[in-house]
Structure 1
Amino acid sequence: MSPAPLPRDIKVLIAAAFVIALGYGIVAPVLPQFAASFDVGVAAASIIVSVFAFMRLVFAPVGGVLVGKWGERRVYLIGLLIVAVSTGACALAQDYWQLLLFRGLGGAGSTMFTVSATALIIRLAPPNSRGRVSGAYASTFLLGGILGPVAGGLLAGFGLRMPFIVYAVALVVAAAVVAVLLKKPPAGTGEDIPVPEPMAVREALADPGYRAAIVSAFANGWATFGVRMALIPIFAAAVLGAGPETAGLALAVFAVGNALALTFSGRLSDSAGRRPLVIAGLVIVGLSIAAIGFTESVPLFVAASVTAGFGSGLLGPAQQAAVADIIGNDRSGGKVLAVFQMATDGGAIIGPVLAGALADRLGYDWAFAATGAVAVAAALLWLLFGRETLARPAPPKS
């Protein structure tokens, strides 16, 4: 049986995700080095990455409330514009503390469009295609991630402020795409779709699959959203003697490896199950991220980065589909999704700070090894305690 066609609004969100990812990737290779240009150390430069995730973490519960009050479409647009304005302000920052403030404000807007987009995707995705929808969304996001870091490294040649200007413009473009194409709510209502009964966080936490997903989300945030973005650009410059171009290449090939896995991982999780792909993805991410700290040449550095990206591509769709399985199409999962996002952002906050401190005191090998250990530990927890959330069709009666 052929899979159900994707709803139009999901296609709109996928198109906007490409523009958002392209801009985010443009900033990623230069953000830590821009922070370091204000004469701060590795840990302080890493905090610039963490503060964005910290504000996402703090604002996540508010974002869920706003989605219920104003509707997904409006919250999505406001969030994009907040990040656009704050990113443009980063380009004008005159000292480290201004950059920290502006980057942090962007985190509040980011959680608004992330929660609203995820809520729409989970509610609109057909049950037998949740992995495919998650994979398609992530693939398009990562396609922008492949091109963005390369463009960001090249734009750095015009100054470290230029990528922020380009990112701000990209977000305005994404907001325009959503405003024009995403379905407007019916007159007199605040939602595109009537809001069903919400699932309580306590109810979700009673499920071992959700508890395991929270842990793996934390590990994924630590490794791929935190340490990778914060330490890899600095590692490339400090250890390998490379510039923003090599850092951008490493982030780009991570996206290439991720995109390669996403070509099949979403559909595979719809047939083979969520749990095997989550475990395999966490192990691959952990071992390859740990290996980065021991590389002494650019080719090995790039190889470890692309392998980590492949592991992340196995993990992402299966993990999100597992949470979607637990929520279901008939329940509103705003608060449950907020906690799941907070786990990811919590890892992205703590990871760069602790790994940056380890790099300052003991070296980059310790920083990346500790990060890899966190991911492998999450895989072990899924293996021992996590359950398979994919509902199998009942066998035909004889």
Structure 2
Amino acid sequence: MNRQREPMARSVIVLAAIALFVGLGFGVVVPVLPLFAESFQANDLMVGVVVSAFAAVRLSTSPFSNGVMERIGARSTLGLGLLLVAVSSALMGVARSYWWLLGWRAVGGIGSALFTVAAMTVLLAVAPEHMRGRATGLYQSGFLIGSMAGPAVGGLLARISLQAPFGFYALTLLVAGVLGLSLLPRAVTRPVGAGRRGGVPMRRVLRDRRYQAALVANFAQGWNSTGVRSSMIPLVITAGLGLSTTWTGTVFAVAAVIQTIAIVPVGRFVDTVGRRPAMLAGALIMAVSLMSVPLSGSIGPVIAALCVYAVGAAAMSTAPAASVGDATGGIRGGTAVAVFSMCNDTGAIVGPLVAGAVSDAFGRAPAFAAGVVILLVSALVSARMPSAAAPGRARAGNL
């Protein structure tokens, strides 16, 4: 069979559908959450704590996710994680004080850690090596599409009440959980977390240059795409160019569309040309385009730069995950996936803090430059990866 026409595994399609519902609910809640926190007379710092608590708790609890999978299997762990986020979201909507809102937001972070690690572990297990890039791209596109549609739905629900989006988020998560528990086969997912044979020991995975490059790339992705892009680019558009916040939403929406369009073809590139070229190109494209943003004098170049950035980000969100699957052999990868996920969360938390401090002290261009340095380091580490052109032609002897 022509591998380019080989059908995608049903479990990958199910995971993409789950990601679509999760992304939709997440996109509904994120714009409303700060406003809901302010309704409890929270100051800006308290609002920031509510927003960041989710990622901070997810980061701190990710190391325990593999232990849960060892006990109950990856499918059940995925369902449990989605159920925790669903229940916490519903309870956030009926919270009567800031502290209850914060507490349930933190509980959601625990569920997100379980779901994130379990879903990626299952994805890398069920996707064959020569299709991991495309599988990761399909999974990521589900979340991106949901995230793009979410804010529009959230705006409509917010007209009903600020609590309505939280109930909607809980509903989408319950649907995602039912899909996972009913359509993901137990026979595939149980060995992912609990398998004792055929897996690569974690100490060997840590020595694998493919895995090392994936960790650095995911840290750089979290620092820049989740952190610096969200915290610094709105300031460039509003304070630097003197434009309204509407332009910020427009720019981000256009970039999200470009990334969604690019991610599946980029996944094919990852599978046919190789992980290393994709990670090198992705890091360099992101670095050049990101650095051009604070140097732009009008909105047109900013939009162009972020559209180019989106293509690089598509490569940096697919190739590293595929490399993790290669390094672990696709099975017994729960711990490796948890560490991989933690790198992204760490970058997302540290990146905005460093960028903000550098911007206050030296200006916005140096703040962007700090993120560019991280991307260049990622490119250097990726250059040390094995030089096999394509996963289908190079097997696991590349340690």
Q: Which amino acid aligns with 1:352?
A: P
Distance 1:325 1:348 in 2: 25
The answer to whether the aligner puts 1:368 opposite 2:368 as a matched pair is yes
Deviation at 1:110, TM superposition (A): 0.7
Q: Which amino acid aligns with 1:120?
A: V
Aligned to 1:111, the other structure's residue is in SS state helix
Deviation at 1:283, TM superposition (A): 1.9
Decide whether the 8 Å contact of 1:290 with 1:370 is kept in 2: no
Decide whether the 8 Å contact of 2:71 with 2:194 is kept in 1: no
| Structure 1 spans left out of the alignment, 5+ residues | none
Q: Which amino acid aligns with 1:108?
A: I
The answer to whether the aligner puts 1:208 opposite 2:209 as a matched pair is yes
User: What's the counterpart of residue 9 of structure 1?
Assistant: 11
Q: Select which of 113, 116, 119 maps to 2:118.
A: 116
Distance 2:298 2:91 in 1: 36
Map 1:60-75; keep pairs closer than 5 Å.
60-75=62-77
Q: Which amino acid aligns with 1:268?
A: F
Decide whether the 8 Å contact of 1:257 with 1:313 is kept in 2: no
Decide whether the 8 Å contact of 2:81 with 2:113 is kept in 1: yes
TM-score, normalized by length of structure 2? 0.84
Task: Provide closer, same or farther for how the CA distance between residues 372 and 218 of structure 1 changes in structure 2, counting only shifts above 3 A.
Answer: same
Deviation at 1:19, TM superposition (A): 0.9
Deviation at 1:234, TM superposition (A): 6.6
Aligned to 1:332, the other structure's residue is in SS state coil
Deviation at 1:75, TM superposition (A): 0.9
Aligned to 1:386, the other structure's residue is in SS state coil
Map 1:221-232; keep pairs closer than 5 Å.
221-232=222-233
User: What's the counterpart of residue 325 of structure 1?
Assistant: 326
Task: Provide closer, same or farther for how the CA distance between residues 78 and 149 of structure 1 changes in structure 2, counting only shifts above 3 A.
Answer: same
Task: Provide closer, same or farther for how the CA distance between residues 33 and 279 of structure 1 changes in structure 2, counting only shifts above 3 A.
Answer: farther
| Structure 2 spans left out of the alignment, 5+ residues | 395-399
Decide whether the 8 Å contact of 1:63 with 1:115 is kept in 2: yes
Decide whether the 8 Å contact of 1:47 with 1:352 is kept in 2: no
Task: Provide closer, same or farther for how the CA distance between residues 33 and 113 of structure 1 changes in structure 2, counting only shifts above 3 A.
Answer: same
Distance 1:269 1:91 in 2: 41
Distance 1:272 1:213 in 2: 17
Deviation at 1:347, TM superposition (A): 0.9
Q: Which amino acid aligns with 1:326?
A: A
The answer to whether the aligner puts 1:141 opposite 2:140 as a matched pair is no
Aligned to 2:319, the other structure's residue is in SS state helix
User: What's the counterpart of residue 84 of structure 1?
Assistant: 86
Decide whether the 8 Å contact of 2:289 with 2:308 is kept in 1: yes
User: What's the counterpart of residue 283 of structure 2?
Assistant: 282
The answer to whether the aligner puts 1:102 opposite 2:104 as a matched pair is yes
The answer to whether the aligner puts 1:386 opposite 2:388 as a matched pair is no
Aligned residues: 388
Decide whether the 8 Å contact of 2:37 with 2:50 is kept in 1: yes
Distance 1:94 1:322 in 2: 45
Task: Provide closer, same or farther for how the CA distance between residues 156 and 228 of structure 1 changes in structure 2, counting only shifts above 3 A.
Answer: farther
Q: Deviations over 1:243-269 (max 9, x none)?
A: 4x5444333323212112213111111
Aligned to 2:8, the other structure's residue is in SS state coil
Task: Provide closer, same or farther for how the CA distance between residues 368 and 249 of structure 1 changes in structure 2, counting only shifts above 3 A.
Answer: same
Q: Deviations over 1:10-57 (max 9, x none)?
A: 22111111111122223344556666775645x765554443222222
Deviation at 1:364, TM superposition (A): 4.4
Distance 2:37 2:301 in 1: 27
Map 1:167-186; keep pairs closer than 5 Å.
167-184=169-186
TM-score, normalized by length of structure 1? 0.84
Distance 1:233 1:36 in 2: 21
Task: Provide closer, same or farther for how the CA distance between residues 235 and 317 of structure 1 changes in structure 2, counting only shifts above 3 A.
Answer: same
Task: Provide closer, same or farther for how the CA distance between residues 170 and 299 of structure 1 changes in structure 2, counting only shifts above 3 A.
Answer: farther
Decide whether the 8 Å contact of 2:215 with 2:320 is kept in 1: no
Task: Provide closer, same or farther for how the CA distance between residues 332 and 191 of structure 1 changes in structure 2, counting only shifts above 3 A.
Answer: closer
Task: Provide closer, same or farther for how the CA distance between residues 255 and 153 of structure 1 changes in structure 2, counting only shifts above 3 A.
Answer: farther
Q: Deviations over 1:120-146 (max 9, x none)?
A: 111111222111211221222222233
Deviation beyond 6 Å, 4+ runs, structure 1:
none
Aligned to 1:5, the other structure's residue is in SS state coil
Question: Which of 58-67 and 146-155 deviates more?
Answer: 146-155
User: What's the counterpart of residue 23 of structure 1?
Assistant: 25
- When the two chains are superposed, the root-mean-square deviation of aligned CA atoms in Å is 3.2
Distance 2:181 2:226 in 1: 28
Aligned to 2:317, the other structure's residue is in SS state helix
Task: Provide closer, same or farther for how the CA distance between residues 233 and 71 of structure 1 changes in structure 2, counting only shifts above 3 A.
Answer: farther
Task: Provide closer, same or farther for how the CA distance between residues 353 and 83 of structure 1 changes in structure 2, counting only shifts above 3 A.
Answer: farther
User: What's the counterpart of residue 346 of structure 2?
Assistant: 346
Q: Which amino acid aligns with 1:349?
A: I
Distance 1:255 1:326 in 2: 29
Q: Deviations over 1:335-361 (max 9, x none)?
A: 111111111111112112222344555
